[in-house]
């Protein structure tokens, strides 16, 4: 499934890589310090020339630190979103 990223001045994207067990779930993120402003996206199986993997893609997040809302406190729970860039976090 193709994804169009809406990144540029003040906006970046996040790709969260997940184990296959997360397929079909929705993972929420919110700006750090503004937990009420949550957004979510579904975890889908993605196919690329390098193989198949599961990921949640957040195509347009304002720059700054974002909290990833998960069940496991041992997993990374924050991502820095930079203007015009794609950040990646791996939960596999």
pLDDT in tens, 40-83: 999 999 998 989 999 999 999 999 999 999 989 999 999 999 99
In the predicted structure, residue 7 carries a pLDDT above the cut 70:
yes
What's the whole-model pTM score? 0.93
* Structure token pair of residue 8: 């540029």
Q: How far apart are the first and last CA of the chain?
A: 20
| Confidence grade of residue 21 (pLDDT, cut at 50, 70, 90) | very high
* Structure token pair of residue 34: 């503004």
CB 31 within 8 A of CB 37: yes
Closest CA to 39 of 3, 69, 16: 69
> Residue ranges per domain, the chain?
11-87
CB 59 within 8 A of CB 4: yes
């Amino acid at each position: 499934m193709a994804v169009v990223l809406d990144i540029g001045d003040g906006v970046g994207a996040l790709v969260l890589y997940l184990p296959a067990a997360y397929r079909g779930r929705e993972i929420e993120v919110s700006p750090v310090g503004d937990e009420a402003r949550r957004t979510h996206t579904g975890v889908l199986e993605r196919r690329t020339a390098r193989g198949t993997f599961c990921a949640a893609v957040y195509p347009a997040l304002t720059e700054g630190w974002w909290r990833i809302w998960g069940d496991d406190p041992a997993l990374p729970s924050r991502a820095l979103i930079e203007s015009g860039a794609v950040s990646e976090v791996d939960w596999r």
